Structure 1
Amino acid sequence: FWMKEISFLGHVISSEGIDVDPAKVEAVLQWSTPESVTEIRSFLGLAGYYRRFIEGFSKLAMPLNQLTRKNQVFVWDKNCEESFQELKRRLTTT
């Protein structure tokens, strides 16, 4: 009962608050650019789990979410890359 912090469901909980688990931060840092809708959904699933730590998450993730729509042609453009990199940056600096 005298633990200073504990890892629980991908979070580190301490007397100072709740943070993202460093193991998840490392996973985000290693994440390569998605090459399919499945890979985008996987990334957005992880990012969405931590959306509470990212201000303006919905707007920031919009270019990626648009690629996951039914009958949408997969075209990775500059907006998608910027969205992906900014989400990674914010996930690893919270």
Structure 2
Amino acid sequence: MIVEEPGSKPTVRPPYRLSPPELADMKKQIEYVLEKKLIQLSTSPYGAPVLFTPKPDGSLRMCIDYKALNKLTIKNRYHIPRIDDLLDQLRGATIFYKQDLRSGYWQIRMADNSIHKTAFRTRYGS
């Protein structure tokens, strides 16, 4: 769940300028995730801009810039467990499961009341 500071207003930033190849790739990627129902059209008052980073294979990874939302979000203060403690907990275990999350950021369940806060804006809509 995304919990914001009390009294904060929805964050909205204008879209970044993108090159023609980035615009073409963005349109293709958005059509794909819409078709797969991984995203949906939105009328949310929130809106983060899209940018691209190159992947090792030369293709482009579409990223959403949530810096403005992150500034207003109340952070969880959980300590990260020590690796040796986690490995100690596996002592005596005989069955292990490995899961490959190719696109892990698509596979994380989000609280229904936080979904509208993750809206992003493009020249093709929100």
TM over 0.5: no
Structure scoring higher RCO (CA < 8 A, sep ≥ 6) equals 2
Task: Name whichever structure is richer in helix by fraction.
Answer: 1
In the superposition, the TM-score normalised over structure 1's length comes to: 0.31
Asked which structure has the greater CA Rg, the reply is 2
